[in-house]
Copies of this chain bind each other. A is one copy, B any other.
């Protein structure tokens, strides 16, 4: 390789590194533009852990929440543009609060439980082994139509019971994920080298379990056997890790 080529490569690498540093500083110094205006308590430590590393910074996060949205009446789910937030809570919800919120609905109200989600910017594609994190134990339940409640109070109580349990489980998963991440960062298994992180050495444990290795290599398999089990196995934080390139 001619010398000028090596110089160009090195300097371009440095440029990118400096650019990322600047971009990170810019992003982290800006005001939090979310409705809430601050990071959810249950993920503060996790967000800090990531932002303390020079190769990462977080751009959005939610610890998990129960939502009641009043949407359009097209039956096609809630469109953000036309929807109204009747209730949002990051802690367990009691029936009376939900009933009060439901009385305000005049469109098609939808109850949601949204688990923990985290978006992370990475300096290099290789770092993106952990760029976005999304858990998979949500709920989305249409409750009313044109303002009329379609279920009983007993059902609301039943549903809240499930959602509140999912919230507890979600909290455990955040903790497990934090512990796995900390371990990985400590051991420096996540580097910005081009080294491939081998699955067996990867404390994230966030891949789907290979109960059926044949299946994973199989041909165009519909997802019927491909659901994440929701268990308490400590070796599996029960969270999917996905990578979104910067341009998406």
Q: A145, B158: Cβ atoms under 8 Å?
A: yes
Number of copies: 2
Whether, in the assembled complex, A107 has its beta carbon less than 8 Å from a beta carbon of chain B, the answer is no
Q: A34, B224: Cβ atoms under 8 Å?
A: yes
With A33-B218, A137-B77, A162-B75 known to touch, is A60 a contact of B244 (CB < 8 Å)?
A: no
Q: A202, B30: Cβ atoms under 8 Å?
A: no
Give the shortest distance, in Å, between A167 (CB) and chain B (any CB): 11
Chain B residues, CB < 8 A from A215? 33-34
Whether, in the assembled complex, A206 has its beta carbon less than 8 Å from a beta carbon of chain B, the answer is yes
Q: How far is the CA of A75 from the CA of B132 in the complex (A)?
A: 28
A-B contact sample (4 more), CB < 8 A, given A30-B214, A242-B243? A47-B220, A74-B165, A138-B138, A204-B248
28 contacts between A and B (CB under 8 A): A31-B219, A33-B212, A33-B214, A33-B218, A34-B221, A36-B222, A58-B220, A59-B216, A59-B218, A59-B220, A59-B221, A61-B220, A61-B222, A76-B169, A77-B162, A78-B227, A79-B229, A81-B231, A114-B223, A129-B247, A132-B242, A140-B140, A141-B141, A141-B142, A142-B158, A150-B152, A240-B248, A241-B244
